[in-house]
Amino acid sequence: MANLILILGDQLTTDISALDGADPGRDRIVMAEVHEEASYTNHHKKKLVLLFSAMRHLARQLEKDGWQVHYQKYYPENTHQSLEGVISAQIADFLPDRIITTECGEWRLHDQISHWQERLKVPVEIRSDARFIASKSEFADWAEGRKQLRMEFFYREMRRKTGLLMTPDGKPEGGSWNFDADNRRKWSGKPPAPAPFRVEPDAITREVIDLVEQHFSDHFGTSDDFHFAVTPEDAQEALNYFVEFALPCFGDYQDAMSDSEDWLFHSILSPYINCGLLDPLTVCEAAARAWYAGQAPINGVEGFIRQIVGWREFVRGIYWLNMPGYAKENRLGNTRALPWFYWTGDTKMRCMHQAIDATRRNAYAHHIQRLMVTGNFALLAGVKPEEICDWYLAVYADAYDWVELPNVLGMVMHADGGYLGSKPYAASGKYIQRMSDHCANCHYKVSKSTESDACPFNSLYWHFIDRHRAEFERNPRMAMMYRNWDKQKPEKREALLQRAGYLLEHLDQL
């Protein structure tokens, strides 16, 4: 029985379940760079380079290993510009008994592939993606009957399941499940942050860079200084580099932001984990080993592992449990368009400029920039969820619908009514000042709230609190905010609302 095996652009590993039991002498692998996938959003140029180059490297490796691979390189004049087009041409050519693939990472494509069997008249087997620690049904079982889903409890289940940082008698190592309280230091330049791990582009990557520059020149960002890994071996080197040089300080400075340093002590591994170059469990095991060997402290190692077996698995579970309806949620009733400066970085707000400019150059910004700067601003300004979600999906090298959507729509925009997070992460400029040195270099004054040079986050924060009283006043985690707001003199409240009203009318000029 000959099979046609489809490997998608975020399934770039020979361990993918679609290849389980496959036979190089009998089956044919299909990989394709198609216009439909490369352009359903304004993908950052570096993301396109990463994926096309990593796909080409994997295809070359598979061929070397003796597989028959049909690989379609991107050309605008290709006859088949969708995966369905490529597969249906391959069916005509190869006459397979079956199509096999691993479940994909977004609803849009999942929906298409689940109709292939009836449309293409060939049996289609969609296998579960074993790269995740919890399967979709395992998550659904855990979630069943719970009114609100909280990551912390799910995370403990995943720690128990994997045995990561667990004592032999089933207790969390270090005596606690979570050391987050130790992970909130501001970074003032010391200790120095390691330079990001670099791989110089080889001939395949250089060819892809030219292709992207030629055919995707209107996409967001730049392909200049492309230095991502594009093979599993180099991604493994990136992991080793992180464990040795950044993990020891990862926890302490996890929430810090810097005016002069793009990467700080973050791992920069999400682009590799999400496209298959690195296995998430292997990554966590490497971090855990560093703790057992005394090379990194528990707060950093636990915090890092929590992001992967906790948050990463949790948001994926939420996505599949609630799609396709989840993408349409807008419980705070937001109506504002995304300010144009999200695409240019052209704003006098230093924190926003730095986060967007780093995003444009690197296809990367770290978590706190995404959550507390660009995300926080969109939340306070009441931007339409679908517009800010589209932005996040386009601009990061690690962005895929299953991980981007819950993070943006749920965690940042609270558009799901608190299903994912118990309270919105709304914050004034004080938070950004506490965690960064941006404010010292800003046109606006973080100490002011109502004047024409006042930090926009300050009045927008109170406007958000005021306009969403009905949604949040009874939330115990927000009660203090309402007490603080109500305690302010009426004239002060009025001035804050006026300043915010003006800003909301002039968002594009900030």
User: Which of 10, 106, 404, 416 forms a contact with ligand FAD (CB under 6 A)?
Assistant: 404
User: Which of 311, 391, 419, 464 forms a contact with ligand FAD (CB under 6 A)?
Assistant: 311
Considering only 112-120, 172-180, 322-330, 394-402, which stretch makes contact with ligand FAD by CB under 6 A? 394-402
Q: Residue 38 or 308: which CB sits closer to ligand FAD?
A: 308
349 binds ligand SF4 (CB under 6 A): yes
- The 54-93 site mask, x for binding ligand SF4 (CB under 6 A), equals ----------------------------------------
* Count of residues that interact with ligand FAD, criterion CB under 6 A: 28
370 binds ligand SF4 (CB under 6 A): no
- The 80-119 site mask, x for binding ligand FAD (CB under 6 A), equals ----------------------------------------
Tokens for 285?
């095991």
Q: Residue 249 or 373: which CB sits closer to ligand SF4?
A: 373
CA distance 459 to 434: 17
Q: Among ligand FAD, ligand SF4, none, what does residue 46 contact (CB within 5–8 Å per kind)?
A: none
Residue whose structure tokens are 């995740």: 132
User: Which of 350, 414, 463, 499 forms a contact with ligand SF4 (CB under 6 A)?
Assistant: 350
Q: Among ligand FAD, ligand SF4, none, what does residue 11 contact (CB within 5–8 Å per kind)?
A: none
442 binds ligand SF4 (CB under 6 A): yes
426 binds ligand FAD (CB under 6 A): no
CA distance 77 to 147: 51
3-state secondary structure at position 5:
strand
Sequence-separated contacts (24+) of 469-476 with Cβ below 8 Å: 471/331, 471/332, 472/423, 472/424, 475/418, 475/422, 475/423
Check whether the bond before 191 is cis (ω within 30° of 0): yes
User: Which of 50, 420, 432, 478 forms a contact with ligand SF4 (CB under 6 A)?
Assistant: 432
Closest CA to 320 of 401, 378, 387: 401
429 binds ligand SF4 (CB under 6 A): yes
Q: Residue 6 or 249: which CB sits closer to ligand FAD?
A: 249
436 binds ligand FAD (CB under 6 A): no
439 binds ligand SF4 (CB under 6 A): yes
CA distances from 191 to 70, 265, 267, 430 (A): 49, 10, 16, 24
CB 427 within 8 A of CB 376: yes
Task: Report the relative pairing of strands 3-6 and 28-32 from DSSP bridges.
Answer: parallel
3-state secondary structure at position 22:
coil
- Residue 94 C-beta: closest distance to ligand FAD, Å: 35
Angle between helices 456-467 and 479-487 (to 10 degrees): 110
183 binds ligand FAD (CB under 6 A): no
Considering only 91-99, 198-206, 346-354, 402-410, which stretch makes contact with ligand FAD by CB under 6 A? 402-410
Cβ burial, residue 21 (10 Å; 0-12/13-18/19+): exposed
Q: Within 10 A of 133 (CB to CB), how many other CB atoms are there?
A: 21
CA distance 37 to 441: 40
CB 372 within 8 A of CB 432: yes
Q: Within 10 A of 75 (CB to CB), how many other CB atoms are there?
A: 12
User: Which of 446, 460, 496, 507 forms a contact with ligand SF4 (CB under 6 A)?
Assistant: 446
Q: Residue 223 or 449: which CB sits closer to ligand SF4?
A: 449
CA distances from 465 to 127, 218, 427, 478 (A): 46, 38, 10, 9
User: Which of 351, 405, 500, 507 forms a contact with ligand SF4 (CB under 6 A)?
Assistant: 351
Q: Residue 187 or 319: which CB sits closer to ligand SF4?
A: 187
User: Which of 205, 267, 347, 433 forms a contact with ligand FAD (CB under 6 A)?
Assistant: 267
CB 23 within 8 A of CB 47: no
* Count of residues that interact with ligand SF4, criterion CB under 6 A: 14
Closest CA to 186 of 372, 424, 398, 435: 435
Give the footprint of ligand FAD on this chain (CB under 6 A).
266-270, 273-274, 304, 307-308, 311-312, 315, 366-367, 370-371, 375, 392, 396, 398-399, 403-404, 407-408, 411-412
Give the footprint of ligand SF4 on this chain (CB under 6 A).
349-351, 429, 432-433, 438-439, 442, 444, 446, 455-457
